[in-house]
Amino acid sequence: MQLVKKFGTVTAVDRLDLTVSEGEIYGLLGPNGAGKTTIIRILSSLLVPTSGEAYVLERRVPDKSIASNIGYMPQETALDTGLKVTELLEFYGEIFGLPRSAIIEKENELLRFVDLEAWKNTLIAHLSGGMKHRVSLACALIHDPCLLFLDEPTVGVDPELRLAFWDHFHALKDTGTTILITTHYMDEARRCDKIGFIRRGRIIAEGSPTELLEKTETTSLEDAFVEFSRQEVTP
Amino acid sequence: MKIYRCLAVTKRVFRDLKNDRRTPALMFLAPLFAMFVFGVAFSGDVKDVPVIVVNADEGSTAQGVWISLSEEIISQLDRQMLDITTLKSADEARNDVEHGRALAAIVFPEHFTQEVITASFPGEIQVIIDRSNPNVANPVLKSITAAMTGTMQEIGQEAPITIHEDSIFGKNASFMDYFFPGILSFVAYLLTILLTLITFVGERVSGTLDRLLATPLRESEIVTGYALAFGLLGTLQSAFLLTVGVLVFKVTVVGNVAVAFVVIALLAVVSQSLGILLSGLAKREVQAIQFFPFVVLPAFLLSGIFWPIEAIPSWLRPASYMIPPTYAVDACRDVMLRGWGLEKIWIDIVALVGFASLFLMIAVLSLRRRD
């Protein structure tokens, strides 16, 4: 509530109020530098807000005790490139305290899902950018988290696989997983239950994709964003 | 080749430097630091070496004048080099040398002066000396010989005086025997610190550290995990080097090598914590590389690996005792050359454990920053 994060004189998040309901896919949409990543980093307990409060799974963050229920996928791939795909997945499985058999089972399931079965014994350094993104997503899902923070998860992923990703996000949602996602792809954003348009660290509009389009009488979320931005500048 | 394109590249390099103020600052600071450390550390002679004098000589009267050659020789000893204390018993002096409380003991026997003056027997000075550090032992022996020769020239007598050297440690030690424990410590320190520094800067820059910190993994667990890995690697590395040292260079090991491995493992833990700490100061791998002179030179010059601590100017000597490798080098030499065990090198172990605990704690705190 009224969350603020400043880096020196720059205000990255400005009096932000945001609520994500359990079991929904919430999309944060906005231009580069709008504060999307900072919000996700605060909610993942990686940054301390300058002022205001943020609660995740009913715990005020930063709080390490909820980390085992959260899956975090950063914008950069952030993978240990010196490991093979399976070695990295096993490492994350071990961190989350999964038994060996569960790790193997989950690893096989995720490798099928991200279509990397043929590459499982390849060094991550030798994978393409898109493949690294897929491994990154698999790492975030290894422990079956009930809450997912996905920062630009489909950047560099080919259109076919992007569709598969979104199908999987919805499958996760159906099992009760809550997802907070940032994306640049407006067509993808339509598949969110709720969208928050973010500009200069503030939510300028919020609602389901249909509601946002209706309010602005536009046909695309891109146009809707521009319209809300215009309204904010000239109220 | 077009000169304007070359100049564009040159300009880009300078623009890079302009935007990264730390790099040019380190480019000038690092050599200045190197020059300073080299200049100061190598400018001194061996000083303040603890030496015991046991004088049982009662002097003698020659042509109605009482004379004591032993007192004359003692007065000519270099007081800057030797920090002299006197004891009554040669056994007590030997015990002090054996326990490392003194480097040498000079023992003048009874009737020394009389025997020399009457030339009834060749006068013999016994020097009980710890030869585990030839860089210190040799100058000390030279100094004793010079005092003896000086005295005899002064009284105009060519007397038959000999020095009976009684080496306690390192009797047949080669320079490599002395040098090797230093190499073990230096290699473990250098490689661990550099490897951790580069790895952690990479972890920070690539975002993998953030990713780890978003999991249940705690900062203390990351640091402890690294400490265990590098402690083990340090031990394996020293075991490998020791095997090569013994087989190829015929290095003599008097003590229990397992104790030396414990020391090296501790040093590796200290070094990895220091690497993690330094990684917080570098934003890129290039900046991390610029820390090397600050890490390498003090250890190289001030920790007694090549240059004895006794030869470092006294005002700079406290700096030697603030560098972890100093304790590891000392402990490894004690074990490998003197054959000492944990009961005698415990001060070095305590110092290394202290450094390890302090640096590990600060390393954990440095990872906890959430600005």
**Which of A193-202, B51-60, B110-119 has the weakest average pLDDT?**
B110-119
- Is the minimum CB–CB distance between A60 and chain B shorter than 8 Å? no
**Beta carbons of A177 and A145 less than 8 angstroms apart:** yes
- Cβ contact B208–A79 (<8 Å): yes
Residue of B nearest to A62 (CA): B370
Among the listed residues B111, B110, B163, B108, the one whose alpha carbon sits nearest the alpha carbon of residue B137 = B163
- Cβ contact B216–A64 (<8 Å): yes
Q: Which residues pair with B60 in a beta bridge?
A: B67
The pLDDT, as a whole number, for residue A17 is: 92
Mean pLDDT along residues B243-253: 86
**Kind of pairing between the strands at A25-29 and A10-16:** unpaired
Instruction: Output the CA torsion sign for B252, B254, B259, B263.
Output: negative
Tell me the DSSP string of B135-155. Answer: HHHHHHHHHHHHHHHHHHHHT
Mean pLDDT along residues B271-292: 83
Measure A139 CA to nearest chain B CA, in Å: 10
Which chain B residues are within 8 Å of A70, Cβ to Cβ?
A: 214
pLDDT band at B158 (very low <50, low <70, confident <90, very high): low
- Terminal C-alpha separation, chain B: 48
Tell me the DSSP string of B305-347. Answer: SSS-GGGS-TTTHHHHTTSHHHHHHHHHHHHHTT---HHHHHH
- Cβ contact A46–B370 (<8 Å): yes
- Cβ contact B213–A79 (<8 Å): no
Mean pLDDT along residues B283-310: 82
- Cβ contact B208–A68 (<8 Å): no
The ranges assigned to domains in chain B are 49-169, 174-367
Residue type, B162: T
> How far apart, in whole angstroms, are the C-alpha atoms of residue A227 and residue A231?
6
Residues written for chain A? 235
- Please name the residues between 196 and 235 in chain B that touch chain A, using a CB distance below 8 Å: 206-208, 210-218
Tell me which DSSP letter residue B9 carries: H
**Beta carbons of B64 and B97 less than 8 angstroms apart:** no
Residue of A nearest to B200 (CA): A80
Q: What is the mean pLDDT of chain A?
A: 92
Instruction: Output the CA torsion sign for B280, B283, B284, B287.
Output: negative
CATH of domain B49-169: 3.40.1710.10
pLDDT band at B120 (very low <50, low <70, confident <90, very high): low
> What is the tens place of the pLDDT at every residue in B338-369?
899 999 999 999 999 999 999 999 988 888 76
- Cβ contact A67–B212 (<8 Å): no
| Integer angstrom CA distances of residue B200 from B192, B228, B364 | 12, 16, 13
Measure A135 CA to nearest chain B CA, in Å: 13
| Integer angstrom CA distances of residue B348 from B33, B329, B341 | 27, 9, 12
Q: How many residue contacts between A and B have a Cβ separation below 8 Å?
A: 48
> How far apart, in whole angstroms, are the C-alpha atoms of residue B48 and residue B82?
5
**Beta carbons of B141 and B116 less than 8 angstroms apart:** no
Q: What is the mean pLDDT of chain B?
A: 86
Q: How many CB atoms lie within 10 A of CB A230?
A: 11
Mean pLDDT along residues B167-175: 80
SS3 B1: coil
Tokens 């301390």 map to which residue? A48
Mean pLDDT along residues B303-325: 86
Which chain B residues are within 8 Å of A94, Cβ to Cβ?
A: none
Write the residue in A64, A76, A97 that is nearest to B207 by C-beta: A76
> What is the tens place of the pLDDT at every residue in A83-95?
999 999 999 999 9
The pLDDT, as a whole number, for residue B11 is: 87
Mean pLDDT along residues B10-16: 84
pLDDT band at B155 (very low <50, low <70, confident <90, very high): confident
- Cβ contact A139–B211 (<8 Å): yes
pLDDT band at B133 (very low <50, low <70, confident <90, very high): confident
Residue of A nearest to B367 (CA): A46
**Beta carbons of B308 and B135 less than 8 angstroms apart:** yes
> How far apart, in whole angstroms, are the C-alpha atoms of residue A34 and residue A53?
19
Q: By percentage, how much of chain B surpasses pLDDT 90? A: 26
Tokens 């450390």 map to which residue? B37
> What is the tens place of the pLDDT at every residue in A159-202?
888 888 898 899 999 999 999 999 878 888 899 999 999 999 99
Write the residue in A47, A72, A79 that is nearest to B370 by C-beta: A47
CATH class of the domain at A22-233: alpha beta
- Is the minimum CB–CB distance between A45 and chain B shorter than 8 Å? yes
> How far apart, in whole angstroms, are the C-alpha atoms of residue B327 and residue B347?
8
Measure A187 CA to nearest chain B CA, in Å: 28
Mean pLDDT along residues A26-39: 92
> How far apart, in whole angstroms, are the C-alpha atoms of residue A189 and residue A206?
12
- Cβ contact B214–A45 (<8 Å): yes
Which chain A residues are within 8 Å of B211, Cβ to Cβ?
A: 72, 74, 78, 139
The pLDDT, as a whole number, for residue B294 is: 83
Mean pLDDT along residues A70-92: 93
- Residue B180: alpha-carbon gap to chain centroid: 12
- Residue B6: alpha-carbon gap to chain centroid: 48
- Cβ contact B214–A67 (<8 Å): yes
**Beta carbons of A72 and B207 less than 8 angstroms apart:** no
Which chain A residues are within 8 Å of B217, Cβ to Cβ?
A: 95
Measure B365 CA to nearest chain A CA, in Å: 14
- Is the minimum CB–CB distance between B371 and chain A shorter than 8 Å? yes
Which chain B residues are within 8 Å of A72, Cβ to Cβ?
A: 211, 214-215
Task: Pull the structure tokens for residue B322.
Answer: 């603030």
Residue B194 has pLDDT above 70, yes or no: yes
**Burial class (CB within 10 angstroms; exposed 0-12, middle 13-18, buried 19+) of A157:** buried
| Integer angstrom CA distances of residue A195 from A22, A189, B60, B296, B307 | 15, 7, 107, 54, 68
The pLDDT, as a whole number, for residue A119 is: 96
Residue B42 has pLDDT above 70, yes or no: no
- Cβ contact B208–A80 (<8 Å): yes
Residue B55 has pLDDT above 60, yes or no: yes
> What is the tens place of the pLDDT at every residue in A113-131?
888 999 999 999 999 988 8
Residue of B nearest to A66 (CA): B216
| Integer angstrom CA distances of residue B290 from A208, B268, B284, B324 | 52, 21, 10, 21
- Is the minimum CB–CB distance between A6 and chain B shorter than 8 Å? no
The pLDDT, as a whole number, for residue A12 is: 94
Q: How many CB atoms lie within 10 A of CB A68?
A: 14
Residue of A nearest to B213 (CA): A46
The pLDDT, as a whole number, for residue B13 is: 83
Q: By percentage, how much of chain B surpasses pLDDT 70? A: 96
Write the residue in A48, A76, A96 that is nearest to B215 by C-beta: A96
The ranges assigned to domains in chain A are 22-233
Write the residue in B211, B217, B370 that is nearest to A78 by C-beta: B211
How many Å is the maximal CA-CA distance in chain A? 59
> How far apart, in whole angstroms, are the C-alpha atoms of residue A85 and residue A116?
9
Which chain B residues are within 8 Å of A139, Cβ to Cβ?
A: 211
Tokens 């710890």 map to which residue? B130
Task: Pull the structure tokens for residue B225.
Answer: 């995990």
- Cβ contact B216–A96 (<8 Å): yes
> How far apart, in whole angstroms, are the C-alpha atoms of residue B252 and residue B175?
11
Residue A235 has pLDDT above 60, yes or no: no
- Please name the residues between 14 and 43 in chain A that touch chain B, using a CB distance below 8 Å: 41
- Cβ contact A97–B210 (<8 Å): no
Interface TM-score (ipTM) > 0.95: no
- Residue B320: alpha-carbon gap to chain centroid: 8
Among the listed residues B171, B172, B170, B192, the one whose alpha carbon sits nearest the alpha carbon of residue B181 = B170
Among the listed residues A122, A178, A123, A180, the one whose alpha carbon sits nearest the alpha carbon of residue A151 = A180
Most confident listed range (A87-96, B114-123, B133-142):
A87-96
